[in-house]
Amino acid sequence: MNSHFAKSIFFVALIGIACRTAPPEPQFTQPKYVQSIHLYRDDIGLTEAWLKLHFTDSLKPKSVIVYRDTQAVFAASVVSVDTLLYDTALQVNTLYTYHAYQLKNGKKVDSSEVVAIQTLNTTSHNFNWYMDTLGGGHSSSDLSDVAIVSDSSVWAVGNLSLADTVASYNAAHWDGTKWTPFQMYVSFCPSSDTVPDFNLTLTYSFDNAHQWLSDGLSIVELTNGSISRMCIPQSQLSGVPMKVWGLNLQSVYLVGTAGTLAYYNGSIWTRVPSGTSTDINDIWGDTTLGAMNSQIIAVVTFRYQVGGDREVLRIKSPQTVDAIPWSPQASIHSVWFKGRSKLFLVGDGIFLGRNGAWQEQNVSPYYSARVRGTGVNNVVVVGAFGSCSHFDGLTWKYYPQFYLPSGSLEGLDIRGKFVVAVGYNGNRAVILRGYQE
């Protein structure tokens, strides 16, 4: 073979080999990081906080550690998707940061968001107080309930007899400057006829636009000043209504004497089995933690007679009611709470409690008729002989200057820094207004 030709063939072969495409390098893709641990703020007190730990993966137990600032405050194996954490011994009005980590073989492998929490501060015990008096007519006057719409709109209900007229009134309205008496006409149930009623017993403000006033048989509904009326079917009541609480006009509970407990869904009333024939004196609910964590509490006792049940009812739904352990077994007439804070129960004493553990507060020497608040750091209690106390979140202050020798403060409402309590002294109605500094 010609040597020149052989070299040419060899050169072409080399070119062919060189032109072949090299096989691709294997591709290794790093798996995308997906956060599986989350930490959320749930509720805050003055010296305590609640946080919710959430996992998106619930296949097996996980080792978790949670830091408050730089201090580890929780370390445990978690098996639930959601876990409620409770931290206590905090300082008032202090900023803390929380951070949760998932551990594997003792090493941090996943991290939550950093959650900042500011604990609540105490509120002022200082109020500018004013005592108003209504009545002096041909018969005695008294007020049993009150509802604040705003600083310049308050409704009080009861029975009023004024000195300059023979007429009787069953409501009074505060416009920010003065009280004006009203004679509210109620439905003559079950007919649609309207009649004057000399004694309205309860009132409730759902919001700035909607208020209820009632004599226990029918309801006068105020909607932006216009009036409508509604009958309460007596077949759904076992006694006389005394108090009402509602999330809105489509979810309302009513309680009263002889174990009365009824629910209104915006169109019909339904009797709720309370399991008692003793008076249910008060009801309060709270939804600040969301619908799934809402709670509604009612208190059961006879105030002026011995015997009967003494219970704290928990209303889980219009069909389900159970009881919270009430070990003190004192007569209780009113309830208030917010979020996961302690329950305030008042009557023959003032009690704070949670999970069946109760502490009596050494505050007032008299029977307490009503408790209301805006937060765990701003609670007012009123009662017999004009007793009035304020809780700032840590301490109580009793105001002795409102002593009523022949009377009591029976109704109470608070909105923001405005407090109104109503009752009677002798044959006159009294109204206590307080403006918090």
Q: For residue 61, is the peptide bond before it cis, meaning its omega torsion is within 30 degrees of 0?
A: no
Pick the closest to residue 205 from 382, 381, 420 (CA basis).
420
Residue 151 confidence (pLDDT) above 60:
yes
Phi–psi pair at 368, nearest 5 degrees: -100, 130
pLDDT band at 121 (very low <50, low <70, confident <90, very high): very high
Residue with tokens 């700032």: 392
Say how far apart CA 170 and CA 186 lie, in whole Å.
Answer: 11
- DSSP secondary structure string for all residues of 372-436: EEEETTEEEEEEBTT-EEEE-SS-EEE-GGG--TTEEEEEEEEETTEEEEEEEETTEEEEEEEEE
Residue 7 confidence (pLDDT) above 50:
no
Are 314 and 355 within 8 A, CB to CB?
no
Strand partners, 83: 53
What is the reported pLDDT for 187? 79
The token pair at 360 is 């009596």
pLDDT band at 5 (very low <50, low <70, confident <90, very high): very low
Say how far apart CA 42 and CA 211 lie, in whole Å.
Answer: 31
Count the Cβ atoms, other than its own, within 10 Å of residue 293. 14
Phi–psi pair at 259, nearest 5 degrees: 75, 20
Q: Which amino acid is at 149?
A: V
Mean predicted confidence (pLDDT) in 5-30: 48
Residue 148 confidence (pLDDT) above 70:
yes
Phi–psi pair at 16, nearest 5 degrees: -60, -40
CA 48 from centre of chain: 18
Domain ranges of the chain: 37-118, 127-436
Are 389 and 364 within 8 A, CB to CB?
yes
List, in sequence order, every beta strand (DSSP E) within 91-165: 95-104, 107-111, 115-118, 127-135, 142-150, 153-161
CA 59 from centre of chain: 35
Residue with tokens 């009080």: 156
Cα Dmax for the chain: 144
Are 121 and 46 within 8 A, CB to CB?
yes
Mean residue pLDDT of the chain comes to 89
All residues at 6 or more sequence positions from 371 whose CB lies less than 8 Å from its CB, including other chains: 334, 335, 336, 344, 345, 346, 350, 379, 380, 381, 412
Pairing type for strands 378-383 and 49-55 reads unpaired
- DSSP secondary structure string for all residues of 258-294: GG-EEEE-SS-EEE---S--S-EEEEEEE-TT-GGG-
CA 335 from centre of chain: 11
Residue 355 confidence (pLDDT) above 70:
yes
The per-residue pLDDT for range 160-171, each reduced to its tens digit, is 998 877 778 999
Are 338 and 354 within 8 A, CB to CB?
no
The per-residue pLDDT for range 341-354, each reduced to its tens digit, is 889 999 999 999 98
The per-residue pLDDT for range 178-230, each reduced to its tens digit, is 999 999 988 777 766 677 766 899 999 999 999 999 988 889 999 998 999 89
Phi–psi pair at 88, nearest 5 degrees: -130, -175
Cα-only R_g, the chain: 32
Residue 10 confidence (pLDDT) above 50:
no
> Which of the two residues, 289 and 365, has the higher pLDDT score?
365
CATH architecture group of domain 127-436: 7 Propeller (2.130)
The token pair at 370 is 């009503």
Which pTM value belongs to this model?
A: 0.89
Count the Cβ atoms, other than its own, within 10 Å of residue 349. 18
Cα separations in angstroms, 260 against 187, 256, 263: 21, 5, 10
Q: Cα angle vertex 117, ends 111, 120, to 5°?
A: 165
Q: Options 2.40.50.840, 2.60.40.10, 3.40.190.290, 1.10.10.10; which CATH number does 37-118 get?
A: 2.60.40.10
Domains 37-118 and 127-436 share a fold: no
